[in-house]
Structure 1
Amino acid sequence: MRNSFLVAALVVGILLGAGSASLLSSPALPQDREVFYQVSAIDALLESVYDGVIPVGDLIRYGDTGIGTFDSLDGELILVDGIVYQARGDGTVRIAPSDLLTPLAMTTFFDPDRTLTGASTSGYAGFENLLDAEVRSGNLIYMIRIDGSFSSVTVRAPHRQERPYPRLVDALADQYIATHTNVSGTAVGTLLPEYMGGLNVPGYHLHFISDDRTIGGHIVDFSLENGTIFLDETPRFMMLLPSEGGFIEAKLGRDLSHELTAVERPVTG
Structure 2
Amino acid sequence: MKLPLCTTLAAFSIIAAVHFTGSLKAGDTLVQVSTIDALVQGIFDGGVSFGELGKAGDFGIGTLDDLDGEMLALDGKFYQIASDGKVREIPATVETPFAAMTFFKSDKTLALGATESLEALQKRLDAEIPSENLFYAVKVTGSFPMIKVRSVPKQSPPYPTLTEAAKKQSLFTLENVRGTLVGFRCPSWVKGINVPGYHFHFLSDDRQHGGHVLDCTFTEGEAGIDTLENFRMLLPQDAAFLKADLTKHDEKALEAVEKLRK
Task: List 4+ stretches of structure 1 deviating above 4 A.
Answer: none
- SS of the aligned residue for 1:121 comes to coil
Q: Offset at 1:32?
A: 1.6
178, 181, 187: which one aligns with 1:187: 181
Q: What residue is the counterpart of 2:198 in the other structure?
A: 204
Q: Is residue 261 of structure 2 the alignment partner of residue 258 of structure 1?
A: no
Q: What residue is the counterpart of 1:104 in the other structure?
A: 98
Q: Return the alpha-carbon distance in structure 2 between the equivalents of residues 259 and 60 of structure 1.
A: 30
- SS of the aligned residue for 1:130 comes to helix
Change (3 A) 1:246 1:119: farther
139, 146, 155: which one aligns with 2:140: 146
TM norm structure 1: 0.88
Q: Return the alpha-carbon distance in structure 1 between the equivalents of residues 113 and 133 of structure 2.
A: 24
51, 59, 81: which one aligns with 2:53: 59
Correspondence 1:22-171 to 2 at 5 A: 31-171=25-165
Q: Return the alpha-carbon distance in structure 1 between the equivalents of residues 220 and 123 of structure 2.
A: 16
Amino acid at match of 2:48: I
Q: What residue is the counterpart of 1:24 in the other structure?
A: none
Superposed CA offset, 1:154-186 (max 9, x none) = 110100001110010000111111111110001
Superposed CA offset, 1:35-77 (max 9, x none) = 1100000000000000001011111111010000000000000
Q: Return the alpha-carbon distance in structure 2 between the equivalents of residues 78 and 183 of structure 1.
A: 17
Q: What residue is the counterpart of 1:236 in the other structure?
A: 230
Q: Offset at 1:16?
A: 3.8
- Which residues of structure 2 form unaligned runs of 5+? 1-5, 11-23
Amino acid at match of 1:96: I
Q: Return the alpha-carbon distance in structure 2 between the equivalents of residues 64 and 14 of structure 1.
A: 19
Superposed CA offset, 1:124-169 (max 9, x none) = 1111111111111100100000111111111101000011100100
- SS of the aligned residue for 1:171 comes to helix
Amino acid at match of 1:15: T
Report the number of matched residues. 244
- Which residues of structure 1 form unaligned runs of 5+? 1-12, 18-29
The answer (yes or no) to whether the contact 1:40–1:240 under 8 Å persists in 2 is: yes
The answer (yes or no) to whether the contact 2:135–2:227 under 8 Å persists in 1 is: yes
Percent identical among aligned pairs is: 41
Q: Is residue 8 of structure 2 the alignment partner of residue 15 of structure 1?
A: yes
Q: Return the alpha-carbon distance in structure 2 between the equivalents of residues 98 and 139 of structure 1.
A: 34
TM norm structure 2: 0.90
Q: Offset at 1:15?
A: 3.5
Q: Which stretch of structure 1 is more off in the superposition, 196-205 or 131-140? A: 131-140
Which of the pair is proportionally richer in helix?
A: 1
Aligned alpha-carbon RMSD (Å): 1.4
